[in-house]
Amino acid sequence: MSTTTTATADRTVRVHVYGSSVSGNRKIKDAQARIHTVFTTQDIPYEFVDLAADEEGKLYMRRKNGGATELPQIFVDGEFRGTYTAFDDAVEYDELDSFLAFDKPKEDEALLREGQSVDDAALAQLLEEDAQRDQQQQQ
């Protein structure tokens, strides 16, 4: 996966921004620049996934985003959090922490804490997603 990382070695990257380095759309370029500025000034490590150079990343994004087409898109721990419009609203209303949901447990962790089991198909999917996330971090 083609990524640009702004994380330090001692901080785990939980945020992935999906966008395009070759977009001819000024609005997309400005949105990507604003996300970079906000995350950098708030010391939030993230990876930029360049969809122009990463077909696998594009497929992953489309599978997980519920049909959203606007770029850039923001994911936290593999979960779609929203497009730039939602991000911008969260920043404007000082709700970025809520938008990013860093304190929200992953779905599988929440189920286990509640004593519910995860069926085999869901478990296989979670394991695959974890393996993909690990592979992305190694690249």
Kindly state which CATH superfamily the domain 3-104 is placed in: Glutaredoxin (3.40.30.10)
108 pLDDT higher than 60? no
- pLDDT exceeding 90 applies to what percent of the chain? 59
Start-to-end CA span in the chain (Å): 7
Domain range annotation of the chain: 3-104, 105-139
With CA atoms as reference, report the closest residue to 84 among 20, 28, 6.
Answer: 28
For the entire predicted model, the pTM comes to: 0.69
Q: In this structure, what are the phi and psi dihedrals at residue 64, rounded to the nearest 5 degrees?
A: -100, -10
CA distance linking residue 138 with residue 131, whole number of Å: 11
The pLDDT tens digits of the residues spanning 5-38 come to 554 445 689 999 999 999 889 999 999 999 999 9
Q: Lay out the sheet containing 15-19: strands in order across.
A: 3-5, 46-50, 15-19, 73-76, 79-83
